[in-house]
Amino acid sequence: MFIVDSYFIAVIFCIITMLCWGSWANTQKLASKTWSFQLYYWDYAIGVVIFALLMGLTFGSNGDLGRAFIEDLQQATTSSLGSAFLGGVIFNLANLLIVAAIDIAGMAVAFPVGIGIALVLGVLINYFAVPVGDPLLLFSGVFLVALAIILDALAYQGLSADKQQTPNKGIILSIAGGLLMGFFYRFVAASMSLDFAYPEIGLMTPYAAVFIFSLGLLVSNFLWNTVFMYRPFSGEAVTYKDYIRQGDLRLHCVGLLGGVIWCLGMSLNILASEQAGFAISYGLGQGATMIAAIWGVFIWKEFAGAPLKSHHLIKWMFISFVLGLVLIISSRI
């Protein structure tokens, strides 16, 4: 199978992850013009599974090192499979909460707050589980990211009541999603061998782990997303009949594309984790908060009409995020 053999390539992969994880939600913004995020999310979940399977059957099944994808799945223990699957279940609920927050408050708020919290929590959890990197630089970077989260939340408070749609609900959902999001990666990491080239028996390599994770996401969708469909936080309830009646080929393709983009980021991030360490790999990938904020502020104009103070806070939010990510990268050099 294909594996990453240098820290430099690992950082490149994490940067691509950052772009993918910060950009996939644009497909939701495009689809939300004609149907609800709950219906979009079914196609997103299917897209994640399809791409994870394709990665396993191609890059995960060729090369001299590691174990082939199918063989890796067959030898995995129940606990290893269960850990990756549980990671998908936890991620799915967290992601749905953040997607609901995007629907209410926009990308420029939901991502920096929700994914920013996930970054801070996830780095801490994964570092103490597998300590890799200089802790002073790593945690200094995490502190700056946390500061950026606070600045973004304060900027959102400056929006007029009509722009906020549902006061504070977007931030509350983002916080809840972020707290859950901080835990999913550890379960996926725990299912994998620390050595990808010569993996430990019973544990999985990245391609199998991501595929089982994707199955956890899709299967749990029948529980979590059904609740979101029939008991929405905003807007009207939707049904499975609406998915069949309202969806056309373009809408389904947009949702599938969203899942493919996200899963590409996840696959590259997990592949990078052997060289970078789980904490750094996850932390860099969740720099997606900055990418999403860029989309929300400059493309979707989610802060148009906001007071000057909010724009100043957004500027310092970007600066704080960038400095924090630089310190996180430097912690492994």
Report pLDDT digits (tens) over 48-103. 999 999 999 999 999 889 999 999 999 999 999 999 999 999 999 999 998 888 87
Residue at 249 is within a domain: yes
Residue 9 exposed, middle or buried by CB count within 10 Å (0-12, 13-18, 19+): middle
Task: Supply the pLDDT for residue 167.
Answer: 47
Residue at 1 is within a domain: no
Torsion of CA 251, 93, 214, 187, to 10 degrees: 160
**46: nearest Cα among 264, 257, 266:** 257
Once rounded to an integer, what is the mean pLDDT over residues 35-43? 93
- Neighbouring residues of 18: CB distance < 8 A, sequence distance ≥ 6: 265, 284, 285, 286, 287, 288, 290, 291
Task: Supply the pLDDT for residue 8.
Answer: 94
Report pLDDT digits (tens) over 201-255. 999 999 999 999 999 999 999 999 999 999 998 888 999 999 999 889 999 999 9
Share of the chain above pLDDT 90, in %: 63
How many domains does the chain divide into? 1
Contact status, residue 146 vs residue 81, Cβ threshold 8 Å: no
Task: Supply the pLDDT for residue 215.
Answer: 98
Task: Supply the pLDDT for residue 329.
Answer: 86
Report pLDDT digits (tens) over 283-296. 888 888 788 778 88
First-residue to last-residue Cα distance in the chain:
26
**pLDDT at residue 273 greater than cutoff 90:** yes
Entry pTM: 0.89
Task: Supply the pLDDT for residue 162.
Answer: 44
Domain interval for residue 150: 7-330
Residues 299-316 as b or e (16 or more Cβ within 10 Å = b): eeebbeebeeebeebbee
Q: Which two tokens stand for residue 140?
A: 């200094």
Beta bridge partners of 204: 192
Residue at 156 is within a domain: yes
Task: Supply the pLDDT for residue 161.
Answer: 45
Residue at 142 is within a domain: yes
**pLDDT at residue 126 greater than cutoff 70:** yes
Residue at 92 is within a domain: yes
φ and ψ of 192, to 5 deg = -110, 150
Share of the chain above pLDDT 70, in %: 96
Please state, in angstroms and rounded to a whole number, the distance separating the CA atoms of residues 70 and 211. 11
Task: Supply the pLDDT for residue 159.
Answer: 64
Report pLDDT digits (tens) over 158-187. 764 445 454 478 888 989 999 999 999 999
Residue at 2 is within a domain: no
Q: Which residue has the tokens 């499975």?
A: 240
In the predicted model, what is the mean pLDDT of the chain?
Answer: 90
Band of residue 119 on the pLDDT scale cut at 50, 70, 90: confident
Task: Supply the pLDDT for residue 111.
Answer: 73
**pLDDT at residue 297 greater than cutoff 90:** no
Higher pLDDT, 15 or 148: 15
Task: Supply the pLDDT for residue 116.
Answer: 80
Q: Describe the crossing of helices 206-230 and 37-57 by its angle, rounded to 10 degrees.
A: 170
Higher pLDDT, 56 or 306: 56
Higher pLDDT, 88 or 115: 88
Residue at 28 is within a domain: yes
Q: How far is CA 24 from CA 27, 86, 195, in A?
A: 6, 23, 30
- Neighbouring residues of 250: CB distance < 8 A, sequence distance ≥ 6: none
